[in-house]
Chains A and B, each alone.
Chain A
Amino acid sequence: MTSGTMPLRSEQDIVSARQAVRKWCVELGFSLVDQTKMVTAASELARNTLIYGGGGEMVWSHGSQPGRRALTLTFADEGPGIPDLDLALTDRWTSGNGLGLGLSGARRLVQEFDIDTTPGAGTRVTISRWK
């Protein structure tokens, strides 16, 4: 397994994160559609971290586990947290001026999705895709 952390403090960081995720997906041998899904999910979550969480970081790990090659990403911020998680995971619901598809859409694009949020303490969203 290889792992590390990338900052999510600016729009340029979102672009860098997308490019890194694409590179890892290619290295892991993901199909083009699977690569695109993972990169898109990462872009949605990275933007959430920046806009709603006030910035944070992306923790990544990838590599071969027995039986599967997986990429796992955690988007962590120390922002206001999400007071009503069920609501936030509803399509078209938004606390900002977005489409309200970031969280719910990203969840549909990956194989594993986990969210841990505490009002006032921050949010961590973890996603995985594997081949």
Chain B
Amino acid sequence: MERIPILRMGDLLLVTIQVDLHDQVAMQLQDDLTAQIERIGAKGVVIDISALEMVDSFIGRLIADTSSMARVLDAETVVVGMRPAVAITLVELGVAMPGVRTALNVEKGMAMLIQSRRED
């Protein structure tokens, strides 16, 4: 089964989702990401979904759950790059993703994480 790569940048992790997500691949990512956070003591995670043409309630919930799990492991998550059409559809669908921080792109997401670490 294909896996989504997780890149390390200091104590931050970057996940770029480039494929049309199978449910199993998405769940594998959740396992891999939480394991990696614990292994390196990551303080922040950027999840780049700019290549995703669709986020349904399953994938939306998975992203929100992953963010909650990361928080319990003392890492903050920023979801970046959501396409406008995806945002419109998600809200109409009723998936609000409460508690998930977002930024327009990877650069802004990284800056947000670095900033919030300085404030700690």
Number of A-B contacts (CB under 8 A): 73
B22 closest partner in A (C-beta): A11
Contact-size category for B? 20 to 34
A interface: dominant SS: helix
B112 close to A (CB within 8 Å): no
A108 touches B54 (CB 8 A): no
Contact at A47–B58, with CB atoms within 8 Å? yes
Interface code A65-101, partner B: CB below 8 Å = 1, 0 otherwise? 0000000000000000000000000010000001101
- Tell me whether A125 is interfacial, beta carbon within 8 Å: no
CB nearest neighbor in B for A12: B22
How far, in whole Å, are A15 and B86 apart by their CA atoms in the complex?
Answer: 17
Instruction: Give the shortest distance, in Å, between B49 (CB) and chain A (any CB).
Output: 13
B10 close to chain A: CB less than 8 A: no
B53 in contact (CB, < 8 A): yes
Determine if A104 and B85 form an interchain contact, defined as CB atoms under 8 angstroms apart: no
Among B24, B58, B83, B84, the one with the most A-chain Cβ atoms within 10 Å of its Cβ is B58
Q: Does B103 contact A (CB under 8 A)?
A: no
Q: Determine if B94 and A105 form an interchain contact, defined as CB atoms under 8 angstroms apart.
A: yes
Partner of B56, one of A12, A35, A44: A44
Complex CA–CA separation, A44 to B57 (angstroms): 7
Residues of the A chain whose Cβ atoms lie less than 8 Å from the Cβ of B20: 15, 18-19
Consensus secondary structure, chain B interface = helix
A residues less than 8 Å from B22 (CB atoms): 11-12, 14-15
Cα(A99)–Cα(B97), bound, Å? 11
Chain A CB within 10 Å — which of B61, B88, B89 has the most?
B89
Q: Mark B10-45, 1 if CB is under 8 A from A, else 0.
A: 000000000010111000000000000000000000
Q: Is the CB of B93 within 8 A of A108?
A: yes
B57 lies within 8 A of A108 (CB): no
Asked if A36 CB lies within 8 Å of chain B CBs, one says yes
A32 within 8 A of B: yes
Other than the given A33-B89, A36-B89, 11 more pairs (CB < 8 A) read A14-B22, A32-B85, A33-B84, A33-B88, A44-B56, A98-B61, A99-B58, A99-B60, A101-B94, A105-B92, A108-B93
A-B contact pairs, 28 of them (CB 8 A): A11-B23, A11-B24, A15-B22, A19-B20, A22-B53, A32-B85, A33-B89, A36-B85, A36-B86, A36-B88, A40-B56, A40-B93, A43-B56, A43-B58, A44-B93, A47-B23, A47-B56, A47-B58, A91-B94, A98-B57, A101-B57, A101-B95, A105-B57, A105-B93, A105-B94, A108-B92, A108-B93, A108-B94
